[in-house]
Structure 1
């Protein structure tokens, strides 16, 4: 059995902060899978039922172990490609947060820019994780996640960051970072950099680069958009097609044509992975 399903939160509050959940199940004892996750401005909590994890440089190796406790992994905003290897049966639930989304539910201090896993991370308790994996109904899994996140809701609020993120995601106007900080927010660039680094995990310049890349990628992947790279590049404020090609190579190590040819959409959301086997 092989299942990959993306699920949208039902609760109105959770919908503001969580983009989607996903369920990844493979019950073959000899299952082996490798894929590449590309740079993204979101971050995730991944839950595994009975697994152990090894973190290598830009590479996470997840291995099934029958008697192991559940594993939970925080993956921050990705500035570089991340390779993931899955060995043995997979029982995984992912939570994909919108920008600043995870900050609404953190009840412990973590380094928002580093991958971290249990036991250092305890976003959920093990009994709840096992309850999730004991449930076969997708609507019930969604409701359980919605309700537990509501229980953990702390309502993080920072007006500077919220406005900065809104402006950086907008496609109607383009701002340099100095203008964004001083003219639009009324703070120094240094202060804005500190806020981004502390609560998002990167600086606003890098964040904008990733946003531009994902916006063009989303346009390209939608069937209704058949524009060429030059037209699409201008829509998301690349100066020209060569600017986008350069950015794509820096972020993915691939040209745009290679990137869109080798990657694959999984589920019904923005999960776009390159499967290596």
Structure 2
């Protein structure tokens, strides 16, 4: 399977869109390949110009039509099985980037994009289907700069996200709210509406991803006590259970996912 990625550097988009990416290739129709999407606190918009994807979890990704779907920010991993022709092009949104494109709460994704945007998405999908990866990125960039509304910025949310990343997720919701001068209730509403998950879950995702990156980067056995101390856990079982709650895998098992779909989306 081939994977290409381009980090977004466009001044208008770089605070809301992390990257464009493409997966392509052919996979045996009988066996297929299982992939695991682990939470990153991102929303993904994916265009599928290949074979249909099989969902291995009860909760499916939100489909806008059979070939366009959104992987929303979620609190636990999702699994898929890919077979046949693989031809996926994706846009990875950070913060409330997808909200600024949709101009409606993330919870309404299941109902599709607003009518005016839906037609544009369909037209974009048709255009992307015949382009090379480099031309797809330019096409997507033109679409986003024309439709993503940065006037919808929320300074408290942007500052909260910055604080969470700076602290590696080791911070309480009340501390975040105090630092951005909003109530905890208002902070909860901002995260749920604009990103799709609670600030507590977002902190947990960032915290777990930091030490999952550490785990995946190691070729030798992980020093668990180093992680316990670094991330202020009570003990090793507490840390391992939190990894399991996000990844649905034990930390040691995660090492087998190095260089897979999860690792590519770091």
TM-score bracket relative to the smaller structure: 0.7 to 0.9
Pairing 1:130–2:130 present: no
Tell me what 2:149 maps to. 154
CA contact (8 A) 1:4 1:267 kept: no
Whether the 8 Å CA contact 1:34–1:83 is kept in 2: the answer is yes
Alignment of 1:36-75 (within 5 A): 36-49=36-49, 57-59=58-60, 71-75=67-71
Who is 2:236 aligned against?
241
Report the CA distance between 1:102 and its aligned residue. Answer: 1.6
Matched-pair contact (CA < 8 Å) for 2:37–2:79 = yes
In structure 2, the residue matched to 1:202 is 197
Corresponding position of 2:259? 265
Over 3 Å counting, the alpha-carbon distance change for 1:225 and 1:132 in structure 2 is farther
1:34 aligns with 2:34: yes
Aligned residues: 261
User: Which residue is equivalent to 1:96?
Assistant: 92
Aligned equivalent of 1:14 = 13
- Kept in 2: contact 1:103–1:199 (CA 8 A): yes
Conserved in 2, the CA contact under 8 Å of 1:46 and 1:92?
Answer: yes
Per-residue CA deviations over 1:54-74 (Å, capped at 9, x if unaligned) read 766135699xxxxxx872111
- 2:21 is equivalent to residue 25 of structure 1: no
Q: 1:226 to 1:104 in 2, by over 3 A?
A: farther
Confirm whether residue 193 of structure 1 aligns to residue 188 of structure 2. Answer: yes
- Alignment partner, residue 214 of structure 1: 209
Q: Is the 8 A contact 1:215 1:236 kept in 2?
A: no
How far does the alpha carbon of each residue in 1:63-87 deviate from its partner, in whole angstroms, 9 at most, with x for none? xxxxxx8721111112111111234
Q: Which residue of 2 aligns with 1:231?
A: 226
Structure 1's unaligned 5+ residue stretches are: 63-68, 273-277
Q: Check if 1:144 corresponds to 2:139.
A: yes
Cα separation, partners in 2 of 1:100 and 1:225, compared to 1, 3 Å: farther
Of stretches 156-165 and 21-30 in structure 1, the one that deviates more from structure 2 is: 21-30
SS at match of 2:24: strand
SS of 2:209's partner is helix
Cα distance in 1 for partners of 2:162, 2:262 equals: 24
Quote the Cα distance in structure 1 between the aligned partners of 2:118 and 2:109: 15
Is the Cα contact below 8 Å between 1:39 and 1:210 reproduced in 2?
yes
Compared CA separation, residues 53 and 89, structure 1 to 2 (3 A): closer
Q: Distance in 2 between matches of 1:135 and 1:147?
A: 14
Q: Which has the higher mean CA deviation after the structures are superposed, 215-224 or 195-204? A: 215-224
Question: Residues 13 and 268 of structure 1: is their aligned pair in 2 closer, same or farther, counting only changes over 3 Å?
Answer: farther
Instruction: Compute the TM-score of the two structures, normalised by the length of structure 2.
Output: 0.82
Show the counterpart of 2:179.
184
In structure 2, the residue corresponding to 1:13 is in which secondary structure? coil
Q: Which runs of 5+ in 2 are unaligned?
A: none
